[in-house]
Amino acid sequence: MEDYNRNCTCEQNEQTRADMFERIKCLNFAITELGLYLDTHNDDEKAICLHRKYSKEYRELTDKYQKVYGPLTIQFPCNKWRWIEEPWPWEGGNF
Amino acid sequence: MWTYNKMLQYPVNIKCTNPRLAKVIISQYGGPDGELAASLRYLSQRFGMPDQNSKAILNDIGTEELAHLEMIGAIVHQLTKNASIEEIEAAGLSPYYTDHGVDVYPQSAAGVPFTSAYIACKGDAIANLQEDLAAEQKARATYEKLIDLCRDEPDVLDPLRFLREREVVHFQRFGEALRGVQDKLAEKKFYMNDGNCLDMKKNDCNCN
């Protein structure tokens, strides 16, 4: 908690974090759902187009988020081991 | 392989302790129609699927079920972590507390530990996909019963409703995969013999 507070000096930043994470979760869900749909509708151009659009936004947004608030996956490079920071998702780590 | 995403698929933020609800919701963790059974069922059946669509759908739904297992674990954890001994006793959780404390253990609402007897891998794609369709309906029905039991707890109802909806989507996708497999198995098969097979066998094999 302390570490991201170092980067967050006001309540508005906290709101930015929550908004970013909300968008990440929405994109993650949309990508999962489109993925299942495409597994049985391989030729649906509109779905592929949406999947491409959301996946690109997901990559950009998670990159931005993780640089400030810590890693969401263990593959994200970091100078300090922030992976262990609490809360974990099951402890209310989802805003 | 799998890697962990440090987020829940859908948020679980429960403010009020309620071990009575945890006692029944745990069935979707390790019960007969729970998320652990679902995940292992699909991830095990995927090895025997005959076409690319059914391999992919079993792989991907099996993966999503692991995310659901985590959500149910989070619900049970948040409902019990601050429970007093009196609340645990009043919820009828004394036997559970004796063996597991407030850890999350895969068992049914009636206390039966998880067993792989809940899943089938029949060595038959049609039989397996039909089982998966039934499994999704049974999980949906279980969620509807849990929604009845949790009617006064909006923090619990919200993720349960999300999980119920996912069962409906999975049922739809499995139905489409089943039709694909049926078409594939009904295709006419052509066997070609180019006349060299017997010679090749003679050359490659020294045992006769």
- In this structure, the number of other CB atoms found within 10 A of the CB of residue B180 comes to 20
CB-based contact, B51 to chain A, within 8 Å: no
Q: Which two tokens stand for residue A60?
A: 């950009």
Interface of A with B (CB under 8 A): 21, 24-25, 28-29, 32-33, 35-37, 39-42, 71-75, 83, 88-95
Residue A93 is predicted with a pLDDT of 76
CB-based contact, B64 to chain A, within 8 Å: yes
Interface of B with A in 178-197 (CB under 8 A): 180
Residue among B5, B64, B77 whose CB faces A73 most closely = B5
Set of chain A residues whose Cβ sits within 8 Å of the Cβ of B6: 71-73, 83, 88-89, 93
Query: Residue A2: is its pLDDT beyond 50?
Result: no
Expressed as residue numbers, the domain containing A37 is 11-91
Sign (positive or negative) of CA dihedral B54, B3, B116, B10: negative
What does the pLDDT look like over B69-100, one tens digit per residue? 999 999 999 999 999 999 999 999 999 999 99
CA distance B136 to B130: 10
In this predicted complex, what is the ipTM? 0.88
Indicate the average pLDDT of chain A: 89
Specify the CATH class of B19-204 in words.
Answer: mainly alpha
CA distance B174 to B131: 10
Q: How far is CA B93 from CA B14, B19, B22, B86, B198, in A?
A: 19, 8, 9, 10, 70
CB-based contact, B12 to chain A, within 8 Å: yes
Residue A15 is predicted with a pLDDT of 76
CB-based contact, B3 to chain A, within 8 Å: yes
Set of chain B residues whose Cβ sits within 8 Å of the Cβ of A91: 77
How many structural domains compose chain A?
Answer: 1
User: How big is the CA angle at B7 (ends B5 and B8), to the nearest 5 degrees?
Assistant: 115
Contact B6 A28 (CB under 8 A): no
Q: b/e map of A56-82 (b: 16 or more CB within 10 Å)? A: ebbeeebeebbeebbbbeeebeeeeee
Query: Residue A10: is its pLDDT beyond 70?
Result: no
Domain ranges of chain B: 19-204
Set of chain A residues whose Cβ sits within 8 Å of the Cβ of B77: 90-91
Q: Which two tokens stand for residue B25?
A: 């919701």
Q: State how far Cα A3 lies from the chain centre.
A: 18
Residue A5 is predicted with a pLDDT of 46
Contact in structure between B38 and B138 (CB atoms under 8 Å): no
Q: State how far Cα B129 lies from the chain centre.
A: 13
Contact A89 B169 (CB under 8 A): no
Residue among A36, A40, A72 whose CB faces B180 most closely = A40
CA distance A92 to A79: 26
Whether residue A87 is preceded by a cis peptide bond, meaning omega within 30 degrees of 0, is yes
Contact in structure between B8 and A94 (CB atoms under 8 Å): yes
What does the pLDDT look like over B176-204, one tens digit per residue? 999 999 999 998 888 877 665 555 555 55
- In this structure, the number of other CB atoms found within 10 A of the CB of residue A23 comes to 15
Flag whether A33 is in a domain: yes
**To the nearest whole angstrom, how far is the Cα of B127 from the nearest Cα of chain A?**
19
User: How big is the CA angle at B143 (ends B112 and B89), to the nearest 5 degrees?
Assistant: 50
Q: Which two tokens stand for residue A19?
A: 């908004």
Flag whether A3 is in a domain: no
Flag whether A1 is in a domain: no
Q: What SS3 class is residue B136?
A: helix
**To the nearest whole angstrom, how far is the Cα of A89 from the nearest Cα of chain B?**
5
State the SS3 of B67-129. HHHHHHHHHHHHHHCCCCHHHHHHCCCHHHHHHHCCCCCCECCCCCECCHHHCCCCCCHHHHH
What does the pLDDT look like over A43-79, one tens digit per residue? 999 999 999 999 999 999 999 999 999 999 999 998 9
Strand (E) or helix (H) holding A75: none
pTM score of the predicted model: 0.89
| Low-confidence spans in chain B with pLDDT less than 70 | 194-208
Flag whether A20 is in a domain: yes
Kindly state the average pLDDT of the residues A27-46.
Answer: 98
CB-based contact, B170 to chain A, within 8 Å: yes
CA distance B104 to B101: 9
Q: State how far Cα B28 lies from the chain centre.
A: 9
